[in-house]
Amino acid sequence: MTIKLLINLNPKNNRIKFTNYGIRVRFGKYSLANQIYIMNNDIEINGLKIGDPISGFEKKFGEPVKDNSGNAHFKYKYIYLSGKL
């Protein structure tokens, strides 16, 4: 699934939740997406899905920059990927 977005963001509201897709996106500088929170177990990222062993995510994205009881945050370049693993 590919999602393209063209939006104007209010600086006070830099998050958008796409309930139909099961994701929440946070935007940073220049309105670029810099954090994606995945809530849908069907979404595949580089061959991985939520619920797969965390070792697979670590292999693709490196060590999590934060991990609170399985809610892991991975940094890839300037983007953060987070979700309940």
Q: Tell whether 8 is covered by a domain.
A: no
What pLDDT does 40 receive?
A: 84
User: How many structural domains comprise the chain?
Assistant: 1
What pTM does this model have? 0.58
> Each residue of 13-50: pLDDT tens digit?
677 888 888 888 888 777 777 777 888 888 888 888 88
- Which residue range is the domain that position 37 belongs to? 15-50+65-83
Q: Residues 43-73: pLDDT tens digits?
A: 888 888 888 888 888 888 888 887 776 677 8
Q: What burial class does residue 6 get, using C-beta atoms within 10 Å of its C-beta: 0-12 exposed, 13-18 middle, 19+ buried?
A: exposed
The whole-number pLDDT of residue 24 equals 85
How far apart are the C-alpha atoms of 82 and 72, rounded to whole Å? 6
Residue 60 lies in a domain: no
Structure tokens at 52: 């797969």
Mean pLDDT of 66-83: 74
Return the beta strands (E) in the chain as ranges. Answer: 15-18, 23-27, 33-38, 44-45, 48-49, 66-68, 71-76, 79-84
